[in-house]
Structure 1
Amino acid sequence: MSSINQVANSITIYGGLPIFICGTLGNLLNIRLLWRTRHNPCAFLFLVTSFINCIVLFYGLFTRILSTGFYLDWSASNRIWCKTRTSFSQASFYISFTCTCLASIDRFLVSCRQEKYRKLSRLSIAIWAVILSIIFWLALSIPYLVYLELLPNSSTGVISCSLVRNDAFSNYQKYFSFPVYYGLLPSTILTITGFLTYRNTNKLQIGRQRQVVQKQLTSMMLLQIPIILFSTLSYVIFTEYSTFTATMVKSANQGDVELMIRNIVSITCYIAFACPFFVFFASSKSFRQEAKILFLCRKPAILQRNQIQPYSTSALRKIRSISTRINQMPSYYTTRVNNIKPITINEK
């Protein structure tokens, strides 16, 4: 084995394993921490994205580490695994990006001043959008189940999982499916919605409007966008470069350099699927507090010491009706009522 192949394998192992381990644990923690807020449309989309990211990291990154780093390529010996691995990994890639784009669109709708746009941010719409996207991408991955087979290499004779020769599907995959669905479409949606959300958020100056925007979920989404763009676009650009220059005669040094770059961008593209937990942890104070409670195995304190007990909605209505009656009372009754102090919870 040449030294360049050893370096490439080392990059795959020592760069891929930390991303896989940290990303899988982070996405599982996201599922645990976001489960309580799953009725919020954006939090629900983050929850689904974290679940799909676990599938992406297993089908895509973990199997790549085994095949490239440890030479354990199950797809070269098992026909069913050959077909399902590629089809499910492709579908999970696109489903994850779709859910992220839907979350970005939801943040834009919530940040709008017009009420008709804010009303579109509903849990029912988010659920149906996720269901339809899953059906769409799974249906679009069916050709991989048909055209993938265990075929011997024409030059080396080694059996590998390859596409049956089909020029139409091959051209569709190289020049349209991968660059558009993986690169151009999600990048455009995330860039436009992220910019519009940031602009709308800066325009909201009133405190009540800032609460409507749900600043923490918005910051969680906005910080995630540049990481996704960086990790995916580099992979798409280099893959398309390799496709267009496949017929060119290249020197040995150029081939070695491209092999190194291919391994690096193939590993870094999974950062987009491994980073959500760390982005949420860095951008949201409440998320950090809940993570701290989970890590330390503590129960969340509902009421702190000497904290005034909050009123419920029904209690507030009663208070308003009482205050209306108080305004109609004589002055000496009003003085006595105003001397009433709120009930506090003692330290014991």
Structure 2
Amino acid sequence: MKTKTLIRTLVIMTIIMVASSFYYLPYYVTKPGSAHELDPIVHVENGYQDDGELMLTTVRMGRANIYAYLMASIRKYEYIFPVDEIRSPHESDEEYNLRQLQLMNNSQSHAIEVAYKKAGKPYKYNYKGIYVLNIYPSMPAEDVLKPGDHITAIDGQTFQSSQEFIDYVSGKAKGDKVEITYVRNKNKKVETIPLEAFPDVPDKVGLGITLSDDKEIVTDPPVKLETEEIGGPSAGLMFSLEIYDQLTEDDLPKGHRIAGTGTISEDGKVGRIGGIEQKIIAADKAGAEYFLAPDETITKEMKEKYPDLESNYVAAKRTAEDIGTDMKVVPVRSFEEALAFLQTIDK
């Protein structure tokens, strides 16, 4: 009898544990990710080969169940964030994931442009339309459009940027209707949608959607990036360096393992990213000898608003010292600075 009771108790506890693992709390948990070598990801046609490796770094992030929450609360370099600090207001998980992938696409385009411009290689942009990233609740678009829809025209007119689209809609009045041509799952659709005032901005009318430009960069020679499900813009700097490395005879890593992170703008500026401490740990585990960290400017106004705010470089250097790594953390503010540093490294 006691054996049956024990078995029944174990079965019930197992069911409870399994069930609770699928119940997500209103938090995200982040932890150190991994470092990915860029040679298998970036492919410039007939590009130059080199010795060593340039690597991007990632952070693992996911919605927290009770077990992930408890483990993160006691582990160093695992962090817990409320959902509203990660996602934008009214943004679903689907919309968040789509936004991260779109940010990655934009980051890739910027990286390609910066590298080809520096290498003196030709490139151009083909504008393909507009992506729907988010849909505002209770606005007209909610019943018609979905995140990921590709808008190709409005009232039969095409545009060369999402700003032109926004300017066109802004010239309309509440109650006006617009005809939206869009593509979903390769199927073309046309729908008429009325314009309404935004609940929290009564003097502004619109469809209730957040947009992102869909433009393709065309290069000579061609380049392809196989990023799969890596999201976000933080690999921009490392993409630009790897692309440039393959475009030119310069051997940037010179036999070393070099990791890094940072967004990249169209003019080559390196921007701040999240999870710098966790990326330092990932790079160290991958055997990186150098780590390129954004050294963005923290203005007086930013410091007044966020007294504990510090640059990525400062946080990265402190983490490197804390874990006792021999990896050297290098501050960079632009593609040019990163390139200049790599050109000083000896084989």
**Interval of TM-score (by shorter of Structure 1 and Structure 2):** under 0.3
Between Structure 1 and Structure 2, the one with more helix by share is: 1
Between Structure 1 and Structure 2, the one with more strand by share is: 2
State TM-score, norm by structure 1: 0.26
* Greater gyration radius: 1
State TM-score, norm by structure 2: 0.26
